[in-house]
Homo-oligomer: A and B are copies of this chain.
Amino acid sequence: MRRLSSPEPVLPLRHSQQADRRSRWLTELAELIAFPSISAQPQHRKDVRACADWLARHLAEIGLQHVQVLAGMNGGHPSVYGDWLQAPGKLTLLLYGHYDVQPVDPLSQWRSPPFKATIVGENLYARGASDDKGQLFIHLKAVESYLRTTGKLPLNIKVWLEGEEEINSPNLSAFLDREASRLQANAVLVSDTEMLGVNKPSIIYGLRGNISCELEVRGPKHDLHSGRYGGAVLNPLQALSEMVAGLHDRQNRIAVPGFYRQVRNLPPTDRQAIRCCSKRDKQILTDLDLPRGWGETGYSLFERMTIRPALTINGLAGGSVGSGSKAVIPDRGIAQISLRLVPDQTPQEIAQLLQQHIAATTHPAIRSRLKITGGSPPVLLPRNSPVMQAAQRSVHQTWGVLPCFTRSGGSIPLVAQLHRRLQVPIVLLGFGLPDDDIHAPNEKMNLSNFFRGIETIIRFFGEYGA
Protein backbone atom coordinates (compact mmCIF):
# COMPACT_ATOMS: atom_id res chain seq x y z
CA MET A 1 0.00 0.00 0.00
CA ARG A 2 1.38 3.37 -1.03
CA ARG A 3 1.93 5.80 1.85
CA LEU A 4 1.66 9.54 1.55
CA SER A 5 4.76 11.35 2.62
CA SER A 6 3.75 14.99 2.40
CA PRO A 7 0.31 16.06 3.64
CA GLU A 8 0.13 17.46 7.15
CA PRO A 9 -2.58 16.02 9.36
CA VAL A 10 -5.48 18.41 9.03
CA LEU A 11 -6.19 18.61 12.73
CA PRO A 12 -3.04 17.47 14.50
CA LEU A 13 -3.41 15.20 17.51
CA ARG A 14 -0.90 13.26 19.56
CA HIS A 15 -0.66 9.66 18.45
CA SER A 16 -2.33 8.27 21.58
CA GLN A 17 -5.17 10.79 21.30
CA GLN A 18 -5.71 9.75 17.72
CA ALA A 19 -5.78 6.05 18.62
CA ASP A 20 -8.32 6.72 21.38
CA ARG A 21 -10.47 8.75 19.06
CA ARG A 22 -10.41 6.13 16.30
CA SER A 23 -11.28 3.40 18.75
CA ARG A 24 -14.28 5.45 19.99
CA TRP A 25 -15.42 6.08 16.39
CA LEU A 26 -15.46 2.36 15.65
CA THR A 27 -17.35 1.62 18.84
CA GLU A 28 -19.96 4.18 17.82
CA LEU A 29 -20.13 2.84 14.28
CA ALA A 30 -20.70 -0.65 15.68
CA GLU A 31 -23.68 0.73 17.62
CA LEU A 32 -25.12 2.23 14.44
CA ILE A 33 -24.54 -1.00 12.53
CA ALA A 34 -26.24 -3.11 15.21
CA PHE A 35 -29.69 -1.87 14.12
CA PRO A 36 -31.05 -4.25 11.43
CA SER A 37 -32.53 -1.30 9.57
CA ILE A 38 -33.67 -3.26 6.50
CA SER A 39 -36.11 -0.93 4.82
CA ALA A 40 -37.42 -3.59 2.41
CA GLN A 41 -38.68 -5.94 5.11
CA PRO A 42 -41.80 -4.93 7.06
CA GLN A 43 -40.71 -6.96 10.07
CA HIS A 44 -37.78 -4.57 10.52
CA ARG A 45 -39.90 -1.42 10.57
CA LYS A 46 -39.23 -0.82 14.25
CA ASP A 47 -35.51 -1.39 13.77
CA VAL A 48 -35.42 1.25 11.06
CA ARG A 49 -37.14 3.68 13.40
CA ALA A 50 -34.83 2.82 16.30
CA CYS A 51 -31.84 3.42 14.05
CA ALA A 52 -33.20 6.85 13.10
CA ASP A 53 -33.66 7.71 16.79
CA TRP A 54 -30.10 6.64 17.57
CA LEU A 55 -28.79 8.82 14.75
CA ALA A 56 -30.80 11.81 15.92
CA ARG A 57 -29.23 11.50 19.38
CA HIS A 58 -25.83 11.15 17.78
CA LEU A 59 -26.24 14.24 15.58
CA ALA A 60 -27.04 16.26 18.70
CA GLU A 61 -24.06 14.78 20.55
CA ILE A 62 -21.59 15.80 17.87
CA GLY A 63 -22.85 19.38 17.98
CA LEU A 64 -25.49 19.65 15.27
CA GLN A 65 -28.58 21.74 15.91
CA HIS A 66 -32.28 21.61 14.98
CA VAL A 67 -31.97 17.84 15.12
CA GLN A 68 -35.15 15.96 14.39
CA VAL A 69 -36.52 12.72 13.02
CA LEU A 70 -38.64 13.75 10.04
CA ALA A 71 -41.66 11.48 9.55
CA GLY A 72 -41.63 9.44 6.32
CA MET A 73 -44.19 10.33 3.70
CA ASN A 74 -47.08 7.94 2.97
CA GLY A 75 -46.23 5.90 6.03
CA GLY A 76 -42.67 5.30 4.84
CA HIS A 77 -39.48 5.24 6.88
CA PRO A 78 -38.31 8.48 8.53
CA SER A 79 -35.36 10.70 7.71
CA VAL A 80 -33.01 12.27 10.23
CA TYR A 81 -32.07 15.93 10.00
CA GLY A 82 -29.64 18.24 11.79
CA ASP A 83 -27.70 21.36 10.84
CA TRP A 84 -25.05 23.83 11.88
CA LEU A 85 -25.75 27.25 10.36
CA GLN A 86 -23.44 29.50 12.37
CA ALA A 87 -21.33 30.69 9.42
CA PRO A 88 -23.27 33.64 8.02
CA GLY A 89 -22.20 34.66 4.56
CA LYS A 90 -20.63 31.27 3.94
CA LEU A 91 -21.84 28.57 1.58
CA THR A 92 -24.19 25.85 2.77
CA LEU A 93 -23.39 22.20 2.10
CA LEU A 94 -25.97 19.45 2.37
CA LEU A 95 -24.53 16.12 3.49
CA TYR A 96 -26.62 13.18 2.35
CA GLY A 97 -26.44 9.58 3.51
CA HIS A 98 -28.84 6.70 4.09
CA TYR A 99 -29.07 4.57 7.21
CA ASP A 100 -31.29 1.84 5.79
CA VAL A 101 -29.60 -1.32 4.52
CA GLN A 102 -30.18 -4.25 2.16
CA PRO A 103 -31.61 -7.58 3.38
CA VAL A 104 -29.00 -10.09 4.55
CA ASP A 105 -30.05 -13.35 2.92
CA PRO A 106 -28.47 -15.77 2.23
CA LEU A 107 -27.59 -15.61 5.91
CA SER A 108 -25.73 -18.92 5.78
CA GLN A 109 -23.02 -17.36 3.65
CA TRP A 110 -22.03 -14.74 6.23
CA ARG A 111 -18.83 -15.50 8.09
CA SER A 112 -19.83 -13.20 10.99
CA PRO A 113 -23.27 -12.01 12.16
CA PRO A 114 -24.36 -9.31 9.69
CA PHE A 115 -25.35 -6.81 12.36
CA LYS A 116 -22.31 -7.29 14.58
CA ALA A 117 -19.43 -5.14 13.34
CA THR A 118 -16.49 -7.54 13.12
CA ILE A 119 -12.96 -6.35 12.44
CA VAL A 120 -10.70 -8.79 10.59
CA GLY A 121 -7.36 -7.36 9.50
CA GLU A 122 -7.88 -4.02 7.77
CA ASN A 123 -11.63 -4.47 7.31
CA LEU A 124 -14.80 -4.04 9.30
CA TYR A 125 -17.45 -6.59 8.24
CA ALA A 126 -21.19 -5.95 8.60
CA ARG A 127 -24.30 -5.17 6.61
CA GLY A 128 -24.12 -1.43 5.98
CA ALA A 129 -20.39 -1.21 6.71
CA SER A 130 -19.86 0.36 3.30
CA ASP A 131 -23.43 0.94 2.06
CA ASP A 132 -24.04 3.36 3.63
CA LYS A 133 -23.73 3.49 7.43
CA GLY A 134 -19.94 3.44 7.31
CA GLN A 135 -19.85 6.19 4.72
CA LEU A 136 -22.44 8.48 6.31
CA PHE A 137 -20.42 8.09 9.49
CA ILE A 138 -17.39 9.51 7.64
CA HIS A 139 -19.39 12.75 7.21
CA LEU A 140 -20.50 12.81 10.83
CA LYS A 141 -17.01 12.22 12.18
CA ALA A 142 -15.62 14.99 9.96
CA VAL A 143 -18.22 17.41 11.34
CA GLU A 144 -17.53 16.26 14.89
CA SER A 145 -13.76 16.58 14.47
CA TYR A 146 -14.06 20.12 13.20
CA LEU A 147 -16.47 21.22 15.91
CA ARG A 148 -14.54 19.58 18.76
CA THR A 149 -11.19 20.95 17.61
CA THR A 150 -12.09 24.47 16.51
CA GLY A 151 -15.56 25.01 17.96
CA LYS A 152 -16.96 25.89 14.57
CA LEU A 153 -17.19 24.88 10.90
CA PRO A 154 -15.80 26.77 7.89
CA LEU A 155 -19.19 26.63 6.19
CA ASN A 156 -22.84 25.94 6.96
CA ILE A 157 -23.78 22.28 7.12
CA LYS A 158 -27.08 20.45 6.79
CA VAL A 159 -27.23 16.70 7.37
CA TRP A 160 -29.97 14.58 5.88
CA LEU A 161 -30.02 10.84 6.48
CA GLU A 162 -32.58 8.91 4.48
CA GLY A 163 -34.28 5.63 5.46
CA GLU A 164 -35.61 4.40 2.12
CA GLU A 165 -32.66 4.41 -0.26
CA GLU A 166 -32.46 0.64 -0.53
CA ILE A 167 -36.09 0.48 -1.63
CA ASN A 168 -35.49 3.07 -4.34
CA SER A 169 -36.69 6.07 -2.32
CA PRO A 170 -40.35 5.61 -3.28
CA ASN A 171 -41.53 8.63 -1.28
CA LEU A 172 -38.72 10.97 -2.18
CA SER A 173 -40.75 13.20 -4.43
CA ALA A 174 -43.38 13.82 -1.76
CA PHE A 175 -40.65 14.29 0.83
CA LEU A 176 -38.91 16.92 -1.26
CA ASP A 177 -42.26 18.67 -1.81
CA ARG A 178 -42.46 19.09 1.94
CA GLU A 179 -38.80 19.56 2.84
CA ALA A 180 -37.22 21.33 -0.14
CA SER A 181 -36.67 24.61 1.71
CA ARG A 182 -35.23 22.88 4.77
CA LEU A 183 -32.76 21.01 2.54
CA GLN A 184 -31.88 23.98 0.32
CA ALA A 185 -28.11 24.36 0.01
CA ASN A 186 -25.41 25.49 -2.42
CA ALA A 187 -24.18 21.95 -3.05
CA VAL A 188 -24.75 18.38 -1.96
CA LEU A 189 -22.13 15.86 -0.91
CA VAL A 190 -23.00 12.16 -1.18
CA SER A 191 -20.65 9.41 -0.05
CA ASP A 192 -22.45 6.28 -1.21
CA THR A 193 -20.14 5.15 -4.00
CA GLU A 194 -16.82 3.43 -4.33
CA MET A 195 -13.29 4.24 -5.45
CA LEU A 196 -11.79 2.48 -8.45
CA GLY A 197 -9.44 0.55 -6.19
CA VAL A 198 -7.07 0.87 -3.25
CA ASN A 199 -5.52 4.36 -3.44
CA LYS A 200 -7.55 5.12 -6.54
CA PRO A 201 -10.08 7.70 -5.36
CA SER A 202 -12.78 8.74 -7.78
CA ILE A 203 -15.64 11.15 -8.18
CA ILE A 204 -18.66 9.69 -9.93
CA TYR A 205 -20.26 12.01 -12.46
CA GLY A 206 -22.62 9.50 -14.09
CA LEU A 207 -25.11 7.02 -12.64
CA ARG A 208 -27.34 4.57 -14.43
CA GLY A 209 -31.06 4.93 -13.93
CA ASN A 210 -33.21 1.98 -13.03
CA ILE A 211 -36.59 0.34 -13.22
CA SER A 212 -37.64 -2.44 -10.90
CA CYS A 213 -40.57 -4.62 -11.76
CA GLU A 214 -42.27 -7.90 -11.07
CA LEU A 215 -43.53 -10.18 -13.83
CA GLU A 216 -46.24 -12.55 -12.72
CA VAL A 217 -47.51 -15.32 -14.98
CA ARG A 218 -50.66 -17.19 -14.07
CA GLY A 219 -51.95 -20.44 -15.50
CA PRO A 220 -54.47 -22.83 -13.92
CA LYS A 221 -56.67 -21.55 -11.08
CA HIS A 222 -54.71 -23.74 -8.67
CA ASP A 223 -51.81 -26.19 -8.76
CA LEU A 224 -52.49 -29.25 -10.91
CA HIS A 225 -51.02 -32.74 -10.58
CA SER A 226 -48.23 -32.85 -13.13
CA GLY A 227 -48.57 -36.59 -13.63
CA ARG A 228 -52.19 -36.30 -14.59
CA TYR A 229 -52.07 -33.09 -16.62
CA GLY A 230 -48.44 -32.80 -17.70
CA GLY A 231 -48.32 -32.33 -21.47
CA ALA A 232 -51.79 -30.85 -21.88
CA VAL A 233 -51.68 -27.65 -19.82
CA LEU A 234 -49.28 -24.77 -20.36
CA ASN A 235 -47.08 -24.56 -17.28
CA PRO A 236 -46.75 -20.95 -16.03
CA LEU A 237 -43.13 -21.64 -15.05
CA GLN A 238 -42.32 -22.77 -18.55
CA ALA A 239 -44.09 -19.76 -20.05
CA LEU A 240 -42.25 -17.52 -17.59
CA SER A 241 -38.90 -19.08 -18.53
CA GLU A 242 -39.62 -18.53 -22.20
CA MET A 243 -40.59 -14.90 -21.60
CA VAL A 244 -37.51 -14.28 -19.48
CA ALA A 245 -35.26 -16.00 -22.01
CA GLY A 246 -36.82 -13.80 -24.69
CA LEU A 247 -35.78 -10.60 -22.94
CA HIS A 248 -32.30 -10.90 -24.46
CA ASP A 249 -31.38 -11.70 -28.04
CA ARG A 250 -28.54 -13.91 -29.22
CA GLN A 251 -26.14 -10.96 -29.15
CA ASN A 252 -26.96 -10.49 -25.44
CA ARG A 253 -28.75 -7.26 -26.25
CA ILE A 254 -32.05 -6.47 -24.62
CA ALA A 255 -34.72 -7.71 -27.00
CA VAL A 256 -37.43 -5.22 -26.10
CA PRO A 257 -38.27 -3.39 -29.35
CA GLY A 258 -37.17 0.25 -29.23
CA PHE A 259 -35.10 -0.28 -26.08
CA TYR A 260 -31.89 1.24 -27.49
CA ARG A 261 -33.56 4.11 -29.34
CA GLN A 262 -32.64 6.76 -26.76
CA VAL A 263 -29.28 5.33 -25.73
CA ARG A 264 -26.67 8.04 -26.28
CA ASN A 265 -23.68 6.65 -28.11
CA LEU A 266 -20.57 8.19 -26.61
CA PRO A 267 -17.96 9.73 -28.89
CA PRO A 268 -14.65 7.83 -29.04
CA THR A 269 -12.91 10.50 -26.94
CA ASP A 270 -15.34 9.99 -24.05
CA ARG A 271 -14.96 6.23 -24.28
CA GLN A 272 -11.18 6.70 -24.32
CA ALA A 273 -11.36 8.82 -21.15
CA ILE A 274 -13.52 6.24 -19.41
CA ARG A 275 -11.15 3.48 -20.46
CA CYS A 276 -8.19 5.32 -18.88
CA CYS A 277 -9.93 5.43 -15.54
CA SER A 278 -11.48 1.99 -15.54
CA LYS A 279 -10.52 -1.56 -14.80
CA ARG A 280 -9.57 -3.90 -17.56
CA ASP A 281 -11.80 -6.92 -18.26
CA LYS A 282 -9.19 -9.28 -16.86
CA GLN A 283 -8.97 -7.40 -13.58
CA ILE A 284 -12.75 -7.31 -13.20
CA LEU A 285 -13.00 -11.05 -13.76
CA THR A 286 -10.13 -11.72 -11.35
CA ASP A 287 -11.80 -9.57 -8.69
CA LEU A 288 -15.09 -11.42 -9.17
CA ASP A 289 -13.36 -14.81 -9.41
CA LEU A 290 -15.24 -15.52 -12.63
CA PRO A 291 -13.90 -17.52 -15.59
CA ARG A 292 -15.40 -15.19 -18.19
CA GLY A 293 -17.58 -12.19 -18.73
CA TRP A 294 -20.81 -11.85 -20.66
CA GLY A 295 -22.76 -9.15 -22.40
CA GLU A 296 -23.17 -6.87 -25.35
CA THR A 297 -20.48 -7.27 -27.99
CA GLY A 298 -18.38 -4.23 -28.88
CA TYR A 299 -18.03 -2.98 -25.31
CA SER A 300 -15.59 -3.66 -22.48
CA LEU A 301 -16.96 -5.16 -19.28
CA PHE A 302 -16.59 -1.79 -17.54
CA GLU A 303 -18.53 -0.10 -20.33
CA ARG A 304 -21.26 -2.75 -20.11
CA MET A 305 -21.45 -2.00 -16.40
CA THR A 306 -21.67 1.78 -16.75
CA ILE A 307 -22.42 3.40 -20.09
CA ARG A 308 -24.62 0.59 -21.48
CA PRO A 309 -28.04 -0.43 -20.17
CA ALA A 310 -28.73 -3.80 -18.58
CA LEU A 311 -31.61 -6.07 -17.65
CA THR A 312 -31.21 -8.44 -14.71
CA ILE A 313 -33.44 -11.18 -13.34
CA ASN A 314 -33.09 -10.61 -9.59
CA GLY A 315 -35.32 -13.48 -8.58
CA LEU A 316 -37.45 -16.37 -9.81
CA ALA A 317 -40.11 -18.11 -7.77
CA GLY A 318 -42.88 -20.58 -8.39
CA GLY A 319 -43.96 -24.08 -7.43
CA SER A 320 -41.44 -25.69 -5.12
CA VAL A 321 -37.92 -27.06 -5.31
CA GLY A 322 -35.84 -29.34 -3.10
CA SER A 323 -36.63 -32.40 -1.05
CA GLY A 324 -40.14 -31.25 -0.15
CA SER A 325 -41.08 -30.41 -3.70
CA LYS A 326 -44.39 -31.40 -5.25
CA ALA A 327 -45.30 -32.98 -8.56
CA VAL A 328 -47.41 -30.09 -9.74
CA ILE A 329 -48.04 -27.70 -12.55
CA PRO A 330 -48.08 -24.62 -10.31
CA ASP A 331 -50.72 -21.95 -10.70
CA ARG A 332 -48.22 -19.11 -11.16
CA GLY A 333 -44.63 -18.01 -11.42
CA ILE A 334 -42.91 -14.72 -10.64
CA ALA A 335 -39.77 -13.06 -11.95
CA GLN A 336 -38.28 -10.05 -10.22
CA ILE A 337 -36.61 -7.93 -12.87
CA SER A 338 -34.52 -4.78 -12.75
CA LEU A 339 -33.20 -2.67 -15.57
CA ARG A 340 -30.37 -0.16 -15.57
CA LEU A 341 -30.79 2.79 -17.88
CA VAL A 342 -28.32 5.21 -19.43
CA PRO A 343 -28.72 8.70 -20.91
CA ASP A 344 -31.09 9.56 -22.55
CA GLN A 345 -33.42 6.69 -21.63
CA THR A 346 -36.28 7.57 -19.30
CA PRO A 347 -37.93 5.12 -16.89
CA GLN A 348 -41.34 6.16 -18.25
CA GLU A 349 -40.56 5.33 -21.85
CA ILE A 350 -38.73 2.10 -21.07
CA ALA A 351 -41.50 0.92 -18.74
CA GLN A 352 -43.98 1.45 -21.53
CA LEU A 353 -41.86 -0.46 -24.06
CA LEU A 354 -41.46 -3.26 -21.56
CA GLN A 355 -45.21 -3.47 -20.91
CA GLN A 356 -45.82 -3.69 -24.65
CA HIS A 357 -43.17 -6.37 -25.09
CA ILE A 358 -44.54 -8.49 -22.22
CA ALA A 359 -48.07 -8.20 -23.59
CA ALA A 360 -46.86 -9.19 -27.06
CA THR A 361 -44.91 -12.22 -25.82
CA THR A 362 -47.56 -13.58 -23.46
CA HIS A 363 -48.81 -16.97 -24.66
CA PRO A 364 -52.59 -16.95 -25.20
CA ALA A 365 -53.02 -19.88 -22.81
CA ILE A 366 -51.79 -17.88 -19.79
CA ARG A 367 -52.12 -14.44 -18.28
CA SER A 368 -49.27 -12.13 -17.36
CA ARG A 369 -48.97 -8.95 -15.34
CA LEU A 370 -45.96 -6.65 -15.21
CA LYS A 371 -45.95 -4.47 -12.13
CA ILE A 372 -43.51 -1.55 -12.20
CA THR A 373 -42.39 -1.03 -8.61
CA GLY A 374 -39.88 1.76 -8.98
CA GLY A 375 -37.86 3.82 -11.38
CA SER A 376 -35.29 6.54 -11.56
CA PRO A 377 -33.64 8.30 -14.50
CA PRO A 378 -29.93 8.12 -15.31
CA VAL A 379 -27.81 11.08 -14.18
CA LEU A 380 -24.88 13.01 -15.61
CA LEU A 381 -23.36 15.67 -13.35
CA PRO A 382 -21.25 18.63 -14.61
CA ARG A 383 -17.59 18.15 -13.78
CA ASN A 384 -16.51 21.79 -13.70
CA SER A 385 -18.48 23.30 -10.79
CA PRO A 386 -16.58 24.96 -7.89
CA VAL A 387 -17.70 22.23 -5.50
CA MET A 388 -16.33 19.54 -7.83
CA GLN A 389 -13.03 21.42 -7.96
CA ALA A 390 -12.94 21.69 -4.16
CA ALA A 391 -13.59 17.96 -3.89
CA GLN A 392 -10.79 17.25 -6.36
CA ARG A 393 -8.31 19.36 -4.35
CA SER A 394 -9.20 17.81 -1.01
CA VAL A 395 -8.79 14.30 -2.46
CA HIS A 396 -5.45 15.27 -3.97
CA GLN A 397 -4.22 16.69 -0.67
CA THR A 398 -5.25 13.60 1.29
CA TRP A 399 -4.46 10.77 -1.13
CA GLY A 400 -1.59 12.28 -3.08
CA VAL A 401 -3.35 11.59 -6.38
CA LEU A 402 -6.05 13.34 -8.33
CA PRO A 403 -9.39 11.54 -8.29
CA CYS A 404 -10.65 9.96 -11.48
CA PHE A 405 -13.89 11.30 -12.85
CA THR A 406 -15.81 8.16 -13.66
CA ARG A 407 -19.25 6.63 -14.03
CA SER A 408 -21.02 4.05 -11.92
CA GLY A 409 -23.35 1.29 -12.99
CA GLY A 410 -25.50 1.69 -9.90
CA SER A 411 -28.43 4.00 -9.38
CA ILE A 412 -29.01 6.53 -6.61
CA PRO A 413 -32.58 7.67 -7.29
CA LEU A 414 -32.07 10.52 -4.87
CA VAL A 415 -29.30 12.06 -6.94
CA ALA A 416 -31.49 12.43 -10.01
CA GLN A 417 -34.33 13.96 -8.06
CA LEU A 418 -32.18 16.17 -5.90
CA HIS A 419 -30.37 17.43 -8.96
CA ARG A 420 -33.65 18.37 -10.58
CA ARG A 421 -35.39 19.70 -7.46
CA LEU A 422 -32.68 21.67 -5.67
CA GLN A 423 -30.96 22.76 -8.87
CA VAL A 424 -27.53 22.58 -7.22
CA PRO A 425 -24.37 20.65 -8.01
CA ILE A 426 -23.93 17.26 -6.39
CA VAL A 427 -20.61 15.63 -5.57
CA LEU A 428 -20.50 11.84 -5.43
CA LEU A 429 -17.31 11.21 -3.50
CA GLY A 430 -17.33 7.76 -1.94
CA PHE A 431 -14.78 5.68 -0.09
CA GLY A 432 -16.02 2.15 -0.73
CA LEU A 433 -13.89 -0.39 -2.57
CA PRO A 434 -14.99 -2.62 -5.45
CA ASP A 435 -14.65 -5.73 -3.30
CA ASP A 436 -16.79 -4.38 -0.45
CA ASP A 437 -19.57 -6.86 -1.39
CA ILE A 438 -22.34 -4.39 -0.79
CA HIS A 439 -25.81 -5.99 -1.11
CA ALA A 440 -24.10 -9.36 -0.62
CA PRO A 441 -22.92 -11.50 2.30
CA ASN A 442 -19.80 -10.31 4.17
CA GLU A 443 -20.13 -6.66 3.22
CA LYS A 444 -17.13 -4.75 4.51
CA MET A 445 -15.51 -1.33 4.82
CA ASN A 446 -11.77 -0.86 4.58
CA LEU A 447 -10.79 0.89 7.81
CA SER A 448 -7.92 2.78 6.24
CA ASN A 449 -10.39 4.20 3.70
CA PHE A 450 -12.78 5.03 6.52
CA PHE A 451 -10.20 7.11 8.40
CA ARG A 452 -8.75 8.65 5.24
CA GLY A 453 -12.31 9.44 4.13
CA ILE A 454 -12.80 11.47 7.30
CA GLU A 455 -9.57 13.38 6.61
CA THR A 456 -10.73 14.02 3.05
CA ILE A 457 -14.08 15.42 4.11
CA ILE A 458 -12.49 17.61 6.79
CA ARG A 459 -10.29 19.10 4.06
CA PHE A 460 -13.26 19.38 1.70
CA PHE A 461 -15.15 21.51 4.25
CA GLY A 462 -12.16 23.86 4.29
CA GLU A 463 -11.67 23.92 0.53
CA TYR A 464 -15.33 24.50 -0.28
CA GLY A 465 -15.96 26.88 2.62
CA ALA A 466 -12.89 29.02 1.99
Question: Which residues of A does B touch, CB under 8 Å?
Answer: 38, 40-42, 102-103, 105-106, 109, 208, 210, 212, 214, 219-235, 237-238, 240-242, 244-248, 284, 288-296, 301-302, 304-305, 308-330, 333-336, 338, 340, 363-365, 408-411, 437-442
Contact = CB atoms under 8 A, between A and B. Distances in A.
B232 A305 contact: yes
B232 A295 contact: yes
A461 to B, nearest CB: 29
A358 B305 CA distance: 29
A321 B315 contact: yes
Interface core residue of A109, A312, A319, A408 (most chain B CB under 10 Å): A312
Given A214-B321, A305-B230, A327 B338 contact: yes
A439 B304 contact: no
Contact of A227 (B210, B238, B311, B317): B210
Nearest to A336: B321
B245 A323 contact: no
A126 to B, nearest CB: 16
B231 A241 contact: no
Contacts of A409: 227-231
Contacts of A308: 231
A437 B314 CA distance: 33
A320 B336 contact: yes
Q: Which of A109, A220, A230 has the most CB of B within 10 A?
A: A230
A105 B332 CA distance: 13
Given A40-B323, A365-B291, A440-B222, A313 B230 contact: no
Contacts of A340: 226-227, 230-231
B320 A103 contact: yes
Given A223-B441, A304-B231, A313 B319 contact: yes
Given A219-B290, A226-B310, 17 more contacts: A102-B326, A103-B326, A214-B321, A220-B290, A222-B437, A223-B439, A227-B338, A227-B411, A228-B305, A230-B305, A231-B296, A231-B409, A233-B293, A244-B245, A312-B329, A322-B334, A326-B439
6 contacts: A229-B305, A232-B295, A238-B245, A241-B241, A242-B245, A314-B328
Given A290-B220, A411-B227, A326 B40 contact: yes
A95 to B, nearest CB: 22
Question: Which 7 residue pairs spanning A and B have beta carbons closest together?
Answer: A231-B310, A227-B410, A315-B319, A230-B310, A234-B294, A241-B244, A315-B321
A40 B325 contact: yes
Nearest to A296: B231
A283 to B, nearest CB: 12
Contacts of A316: 237, 240-241, 316-319, 321, 333
Contact of A231 (B40, B227, B235, B305): B305
Q: Which of A302, A319, A322, A325 has the most CB of B within 10 A?
A: A325
Nearest to A363: B294
A335 B320 CA distance: 9
Contacts of A408: 227-228
Contacts of A330: 314-315
Given A231-B305, A320-B315, A293 B224 contact: no
A340 B227 CA distance: 7
Contacts of A326: 40, 102-103, 105, 314-315, 439
With a 10 A CB-CB cut-off, give which of A224, A291, A437 has the most chain B CB atoms.
A224
